[in-house]
Structure 1
Amino acid sequence: MTLSSRKPVVLVPACNRMMGEHPFQMAGKKYIDAVRLAGCLPLIVPASTPDELDELLALADGLLLTGSQSNVHPSHFGETVHDQSLPLDPLRDAWTLPLIPKALALGLPLLGICRGFQEANVALGGSLHQAVQEQPGLRDHRAVKGQPPEIQYASAHPVQVLPGGQLAAILGSSAPIEVNSLHGQGIKRLAPGLRVEALAEDGLVEAFTVADAPGFSLCVQWHPEWLAHSNPISQRLLQAFGQACRDYQGNKVSNWRT
C-alpha cells in the first residue's frame, strides 16, 4: 500500500485508568468508531514523552482529543483543585497539552470533544470554571447521575451557532442545534486567538476554532461521537474532519514527491 492510497491516520490520545491494581491506557470505543465514520484510521496513542511528540505528529494526518471522566488539572491554569472527589489525569495532561500547539502549528486537523475542548483551551492559555453549576447565571450542564447512557447522552439543550464561522459553514446554517450535555467544567477565560463558534443559552461557550490555525480546527463541548451514525449534525462534523485529514495527507504526499 502506498502513502497516497492508505486511509489518513488520526491520533487518539489514551486516558489512564486503574483496573484493579494495574494501570491501563485506553480510549472509548465511540471515539474509535467516530474516526472510522470520518473515513480515517484510528491510532490510540499511550502517554508519550516529549521526545516522541514530533515523531507521532509525523505519522499523523489528524488529531482527535477525546472526552473523558477526568478533568484537566487546574494547576495548568493557575488554580487549586476545587473538588478533590473528581478524577484527574495528570499523565494525559503532561503530553497532550504540549502536543496541541505543535499540532496546530503544523496545520494538522484537530477535533476536540468535551475534555478535549477544555484541554485545547487550557493548552493555548485559557482557563476553566471547575464547577459550572456554581457560577451565577450558568445552568447545570452535568448529566443526571445513575441514568443509562441513552438518557445521559440524550439532547439536553440548544446551542446557538454563530453566523459566519467555520461551524456554520460545516452545518450549512447558523440555526440553533440540539446537543447533549455531560460536563461539569466549562470555559472561563477563552484562550487568545480562539474564535467562538457556538454558545449555550446561558452564554457558556460550546464550540470554538483557532482563528489563525493553518489547518482545520474545531472543538466542541458536547459529544458528537455518541450515535454519530444516526445524527446528521455529527455526520457533518465528522465528514468535515475526515476531509481535512485527507487533504492534509494529500499535501504530505505532494511534498514528499517533490
Structure 2
Amino acid sequence: MSACYQTIEGFPSHTVHDKYVDAVANGAGAVPVILPALGESLAERVIESLDGILLTGSASNLEAALYDSNTVSEGPFDPRRDATSLRLVALAIQRDIPLLAICRGMQELNVALGGTLQTQMDKDPDFAVHVATDSEDLAVRYGARHEIHFTSGGLFTKIVGRKSARVNSLHTQRIKDLSDDLEIEAKAEDGVIEAVRLPQATFVVGVQWHPEWEFQRDDVSSPLLKAFGDAVRSRCRARAAR
C-alpha cells in the first residue's frame, strides 16, 4: 500500500493510517506491505514482488501541473507520493496486478491514465456535501454524507448486489475529465464520479469514498475489500504456479 511523505515532530516520515492496514489484513485477507514514498525507482524495484496494490487516501492533493498547467490547486502537496503512486499505477496495469485506489488514490489512477481533476471543491457551495466536516470526532467525519448510484450491470452491482448506497466523503478534488481508459461505476446525485473501473484489467478499481473506515459494519465496503482480496490471492496463485 502507498505511503505519504510528511514531517512529524521535525522528522521526515513515511506514513499510513492504521485503518488501511486493517482493511488490507482483515478486510481483504492479505498481508499489508507499506511502500515508502521514494519515487519511481522504488516502484520499479518492488513491483515484481507484489500481488496487489492499495492506493490510500491522503490529506494532500495532487499538484495540478501533473494533469493541467492552467489549473490552480491548493496544498498540502506530496510530490514524493505523486512520483511513487503514478508509476505504481502504470506498472500495475502493465502487469495486470490488482489495484484498489481510494480517494486520492482514485484521483491518481485517473491522472496516471491521462484524466484531469477539478480542484477547490471546498470553495464551491454546490459541492459542500463532499467536503470533510470540521469535527474532531472521527465517527462524525467519516459518517455517511450522501447517496451514490451504481452503474447498471457494472462491477459494483455484482459485488454488492445493490443499485445505490450512502457513503462518506472527505475530498476537495474530484475527477473532471475521466480518462478514456476508465469506465464509471458510480456517481453521486450531483454528477460527481464516485467509482471507476479499468475494464480490460482483472481488477483495477477506484472509489472516491473511504471503504476502509469501519468496513466490518458496511455492506458495500466489506464485499469490495473481499473482491480485492480475492483478486490478490488469484494473482498470488498464478505467480506461484509459474
TM-score, normalisation: structure 1: 0.88
From 167, 177, 192, the counterpart of 2:165: 177
In the alignment, what sits opposite 2:131? 142
1:83 CA drift (Å):
5.2
From 92, 98, 102, the counterpart of 1:109: 98
User: Please, which runs of 5 or more residues in structure 2 have no aligned partner?
Assistant: none
- 8 Å Cα contact 1:138-1:203 kept in structure 2: no
* Aligned counterparts of 1:154 and 1:136: Cα–Cα separation in 2: 19
* Alignment pair present for 1:53 and 2:43: yes
* Alignment pair present for 1:194 and 2:182: yes
* Alignment pair present for 1:154 and 2:136: no
* Aligned counterparts of 2:69 and 2:159: Cα–Cα separation in 1: 35
- 8 Å Cα contact 1:140-1:184 kept in structure 2: no
* Aligned counterparts of 1:53 and 1:65: Cα–Cα separation in 2: 13
1:49 CA drift (Å):
4.3
* Alignment pair present for 1:71 and 2:61: yes
- Which amino acid in the other structure matches residue 46 of structure 1? P
- 8 Å Cα contact 1:132-1:140 kept in structure 2: no
CA deviation string 1:124-161 (max 9, x = no partner):
11111112355696454101113411101001011001
* Alignment pair present for 1:230 and 2:220: no
* Alignment pair present for 1:100 and 2:100: no
SS of corresponding position for 1:105: helix
* Alignment pair present for 1:220 and 2:188: no
Inter-CA distance 82–148: structure 2 relative to 1 (3 Å threshold): farther
TM-score, normalisation: structure 2: 0.94
Q: How do residues 236-247 of structure 1 correspond to structure 2 at under 5 angstroms? A: 236-247=223-234
RMSD: 1.7
1:207 CA drift (Å):
0.1
From 20, 24, 28, the counterpart of 1:35: 24
- Which amino acid in the other structure matches residue 238 of structure 1? L
State which structure, 1 or 2, has the greater radius of gyration over its C-alpha atoms: 1
CA deviation string 1:29-52 (max 9, x = no partner):
000000012110000011234343
Q: Which aligned runs of 4 or more in structure 1 are off by greater than 6 angstroms?
A: none
In the alignment, what sits opposite 2:239? 252
- Which amino acid in the other structure matches residue 175 of structure 2? I
- 8 Å Cα contact 1:195-1:209 kept in structure 2: yes
1:55 CA drift (Å):
2.9
Aligned length: 241
Deviation larger for 132-141 or 240-249: 132-141
* Aligned counterparts of 2:236 and 2:78: Cα–Cα separation in 1: 31
- Which amino acid in the other structure matches residue 42 of structure 1? P
